[in-house]
Amino acid sequence: MTDGAVPHADPADRDDRAPVLVLGVGSDLRRDDAAGRRVAEAIAALELPGVQALSVHQLAPELAMQIADRRLVIVVDASVEDRDGVVVSAVDTIDTTGVMSHHLDVQGLLGLAGMVAAAPEEVRTVAVPAHDLGIGTELSPATATHVREAVRRVIALCDEVVRH
């Protein structure tokens, strides 16, 4: 786990990296927006074999080397779109437009990874319902429940890759 700082990736170290990377995204100061980061921190604390977890404020170009050449990248973020439950989706599209921005969406990050090395084999997003995006550092009770569900879903995704 990191506190937003991403170590520089040495291309020679790619073979030694975990096949699965969990990226938790969000703001620690906007209550439920931190849901993705809380999931990544919980995964990091479990020290699952073959899994690395990073907690970041936003998807930045510097993450391209971190996601490159992974078997699975799981991006966990808060969502106000669907508040009924955690939604896991596959990401198929790689977008190379706008890759020079200071922050990216998942497709843009994949496109950049493909430009500097090799895009990951598989990418999944995990959307955690957010109920309160006001100023604060505590998750709402409803989102805290969804974070626990998201952790279980992420563990299951990691197990599928690491065991095969």
What pTM, to 2 d.p., does this model score? 0.79
Question: What number of other Cβ atoms are within 10 A of residue 46's Cβ?
Answer: 13
Q: Say how far apart CA 99 and CA 91 lie, in whole Å.
A: 17
pLDDT for res 92? 74
Q: Say how far apart CA 149 and CA 162 lie, in whole Å.
A: 20
Angle between helix axes 141-162 and 35-46 (nearest 10 degrees) is: 50
User: Quick one: tokens of 38?
Assistant: 């809380």
CA geometry: angle 11, 103, 135, nearest 5 deg: 125
Q: Is 159 exposed, middle or buried (0-12, 13-18, 19+ CB in 10 A)?
A: middle
| Buried/exposed 66-91: b ≥16 CB within 10 Å, e otherwise | bbbbbebbbbbbbbeeeeeebeeeeb
pLDDT for res 120? 79
**What is the set of domains in the chain, with CATH numbers?**
15-162 (3.40.50.1450)
pLDDT digits (tens, 9 = 90+) for 12-26: 444 568 999 999 999
pLDDT digits (tens, 9 = 90+) for 69-119: 889 999 999 999 877 899 998 887 554 444 444 445 665 655 555 555 567
pLDDT for res 108? 60
pLDDT for res 47? 95
Q: Say how far apart CA 122 and CA 120 lie, in whole Å.
A: 6
Summarize the confidence of residues 24-30 as an average pLDDT: 94
Lowest mean pLDDT among 21-35, 46-60, 106-120, 138-152: 106-120
